[in-house]
A and B are shown apart, each in its own frame.
Chain A
Amino acid sequence: MRKSFLAITMAIFSLTFVATSCSSDDNTVEEIVVKETGLQLNLKSDFANEYIDAKVEFVELNTAKKEVFTIKSDKTELKIAKGSYKITLNGKATNKEKVEFHIGASGEVDIVSDNQTIDLEIFVKSFANDFIIEEIFFTGVLTNEGKQYTNGKYFKLTNNTDKELKTGGLLILQSEFYSTLDHKVTPNIKEKAFAVKGVLMIHEKDSKNVKPGDFIIIADNAIDHSVSNGYDLTKADYEFPNRENPKLGQVDNPQVPDAEVIYTTMAMNMFFMHNRGFESYAIARFPEGVTKEAWMLENVYSYSYVNAAGNITEKKGYSVPNEWILDGVNCSIPTKWEQNLLGSSIDSGWTSVGTIDSDPLRYGKTVRRKIVGQMENGKHMYQDTNNSTDDFVPDSEASLKKGIVH
């Protein structure tokens, strides 16, 4: 018994050692097994006949991995790993008459089975022959004491056309929602209208004419902020100081006309930009004959969503129809982006300042539109494809660092 046990045990341990030492060192090249599934992508459009340079980007929520596919027809079979995706499409299409359009689309899909289908509605991008947003400074600065200085922010709107434009009647719109938190509101109207929580208006009485290539500054507010490490905005064209909130300590510059806050959900009539860039902004004009009152009467936006506690939150606000919008920019943070707040026809991308939430490096930086050339008068011509991912340079140096120089 004793000897046989010893023999059996020795045999086991010898076999174990041989099995271990003789197993391959696996010098072979690793084989990557990506468990892809088939996704049928159907583009839904009444006008598009042929797609040119249309690229669809899938971003997976859990891994942040991006997949980009070039689309040439309205039905495409894609191979992609299972996951939860946000989809954006940008490119061009032609109709049957061979007329070319810029197109955009957005959507989302959860891929869990081996064969799935998604329909993506295509929108034609609209380009107004009017002002564009050239730059937005929403981050603020840090004082020498390391404290946030929340004033001194601005919008820079530029005449990117070949004609003189008037500023009277311009509206600056601030999104109701955050790009970093998708409540899945019902109804979702973004492809028809822009839900707003604040609207600034430049009145006709304060209108001025702006030559091609020139710009205007709408500042919060029009004073010299350089004492607090901000920028000198005394030469701004318009300002929106808040005199009702004593904590802000803002003073009016009587030399500079005010852009009126015609609507805000914030207390004390404030129009206050999010300093981490969670919001989208747009510029618009009311159509001929539409007043503020008429807009508010006709464009009430009632929506609801399931809140974190699992209950239904119901809210009421206002929206601005997409047809009234001249230009718009979605802003977000790369690590927090969940949705675009503007319709695909206005902006099918997004831009940012900072790479993470509360990025300490964001202060003093802006989002600025790319320059693509020069106008006849030597002024800059800016890129505008209604895709701010391409059109804007994130984390830009502020153009007004040395004050306002036309």
Chain B
Amino acid sequence: MKLSNQKIVLAIFFLVVNMFAQENRDFFSRLDEQYSLEKTLQKPIYYNPAFMSDYSIYSFSDFQINYNQHKKDDYLLQEGGKEKGFAVQGKSYKKLSKGQNVWGEVAYRNFDIYDVQWNLNVDKDKIEPYFIADSSKGDRKYEVYFFKGGYVKSFSKIDVGTEFSYEAKMGYGQSDPRPKSTSSDLKLNVGASYKLNIPYKVGLYAQVEKYNQDSSIDFASLIEKSTIYQMTGFSDFNSYFSYNSMNAIYYGYTYKVGGSFKQFEKNNLYACFAISSNKLHKAVTLSTDYDINRLETNAYQLSFSKFFDFDNHRLGILFNQTHQQKDGYDIYYTNNKEILTKLLEKKQYKYKIDNSRFDILYTYKMNRATLSLNGVYELEKVSESKEESPLFKKITAHHFGLVASYNYKVNNRDNLMFTASVFQRKVSHSKAKLYVDNTTKESLRNWLDNDFKIVSNDYQNAKMSLRYNRQIDEVFGGFIGVDYNYLNYSDLGANNSYSLRVGITF
């Protein structure tokens, strides 16, 4: 896949932003802020680009190359088994003069996933359950391009910001059936914030997202062709279009608005909310395009945090609540008329996920080191069902976790960052009827049974990350890092992954 001219221009733009994002500052302090656990947990604040004016007291730029491998004993068949690939990523945040800030990100990922089954698309999370699917296992190659850029300007009491991002993805297979999917995801976000007389500011933002995916299936063999299914949830599929069409187009818009309230500078208190609404259409092509499904997604997110400082100690509590509901519509056609004609729409699919997460974060800043400890509890409730059918799935899971992060200044030039975490998922309730009876195709039953075993199984997850940073001169630094992730299902096998990264920071 060759980069289009548009993508090259965008890549150059963001690289230029990176190059100019240089500023003298203490190496350890800058890394300490940039990679702090607190900043990771406070991500919802910065959904409003107007709040990016105080994202960091330092300017920074990173450029890294990453290689990763993922081995899986048990996995969701639609996500595939073993995975390996590399990524190149540049990221930058720059404080300009006159109360202006810019930031940007550019990334390219190239990776292979093996043994993908019942999924011939890309962007599983966006289109689920309306996949094009088949029962054979296949290997896929993926390429992903990502660009993001933002700008915020501060006036006396008002900050105005905007952010634009674009992701293009391609996934394809080289053995029958040969899927080829390309997707594009374009986001534009504008926001404003207002400084109150007390040391808080309030903000509002609005985001519009345009999504497209174009998928088609080809066969090299003229004699043998497997069945391609246009899935509609669980083991159901659109019977007419499954056997008559081997392509699909997905398109839709998401609208999101949010509001935030935060203490500026110290971030000791914030609260924010966001609501979003999406309509995703699926169409297939015969002699003309036919819309066959529509997925309507409504979601909200609430976040809150409060931090307390005691000398060099900082203690914070954070709460994040998300809710997402998807309603899926099947569009029925009739061929009882002269031409294939739309007959009616039926709301047939429902998916709901609620997630409540509590974090307690303790940070201790020493002269040469920073220690952070993060306790996590997360409650997750998932339900999925089909109308006019007995099919359903319900899962309640509890996640308990502890994350420890230690950033150590070896000397003025050298710095070590180490993060370790352990998580336990405990499923307290799981119940499902995944297919009507044994007349459902065996391969479909095997898929649904396999995936339910995985999502309803307890697991233990341990992660470790070690990164060594060295300042080369006043501007440039280099780093090398390794990440390891081990996940063990209680009644199944274990999965593990590692990644190696090398990069420069300036």
The chain A residues found within 8 Å of chain B, CB to CB, are 1-2, 5-6, 9-10, 12-13, 16-17, 20-21, 23, 25-27, 30, 32-35, 60-64, 81-84, 86, 108-110, 112, 142, 146-148, 182, 184, 305-306, 308-310, 335-336, 338, 356-358, 360
B321 touching A16, Cβ below 8 Å: yes
Residue of A nearest to B306 (CB): A6
B271 touching A9, Cβ below 8 Å: yes
A84 touching B343, Cβ below 8 Å: yes
Closest CB-CB distance, B259 to chain A, in whole Å?
Answer: 13
B332 contact set on A, CB distance < 8 A: 61-62, 82-84
Closest CB-CB distance, B265 to chain A, in whole Å?
Answer: 15
A17 touching B243, Cβ below 8 Å: no
A356 touching B388, Cβ below 8 Å: no
A17 touching B319, Cβ below 8 Å: yes
A64 touching B239, Cβ below 8 Å: yes
State whether the Cβ of B118 lies closer than 8 Å to any Cβ in chain A.
no
B306 contact set on A, CB distance < 8 A: 6
B379 touching A110, Cβ below 8 Å: no
Bound complex: CA A376 to CA B380 (Å): 73
Q: Known contacts A9-B271, A30-B392, A30-B433; is A182 also within 8 Å of B335 by CB?
A: yes
Bound complex: CA A82 to CA B347 (Å): 12
Query: 16 A–B contact pairs at CB < 8 A?
Result: A5-B269, A13-B302, A16-B356, A20-B356, A25-B429, A30-B392, A61-B334, A61-B335, A62-B240, A63-B239, A82-B332, A84-B334, A108-B336, A112-B344, A305-B338, A335-B239
Bound complex: CA A110 to CA B338 (Å): 13
B302 touching A308, Cβ below 8 Å: no
State whether the Cβ of B216 lies closer than 8 Å to any Cβ in chain A.
no
Residue of B nearest to A355 (CB): B227
State whether the Cβ of B198 lies closer than 8 Å to any Cβ in chain A.
yes
B394 contact set on A, CB distance < 8 A: 25-26
Q: Known contacts A357-B243, A360-B223; is A32 also within 8 Å of B388 by CB?
A: yes
B336 touching A306, Cβ below 8 Å: no
Residue of A nearest to B332 (CB): A62
B223 touching A335, Cβ below 8 Å: no
Residue of A nearest to B431 (CB): A27
A2 contact set on B, CB distance < 8 A: 198
Flag B245-279 by CB within 8 Å of A: 1 or 0 each.
00000000000000001000000010100000000
A84 touching B333, Cβ below 8 Å: yes
Bound complex: CA A108 to CA B335 (Å): 9
A335 contact set on B, CB distance < 8 A: 227, 239, 242-243
A146 touching B223, Cβ below 8 Å: yes
B396 contact set on A, CB distance < 8 A: 25
Residue of A nearest to B221 (CB): A360
Q: Most A CB atoms within 10 A — which of B240, B244, B431?
A: B240
Residue of B nearest to A113 (CB): B344
State whether the Cβ of B126 lies closer than 8 Å to any Cβ in chain A.
no
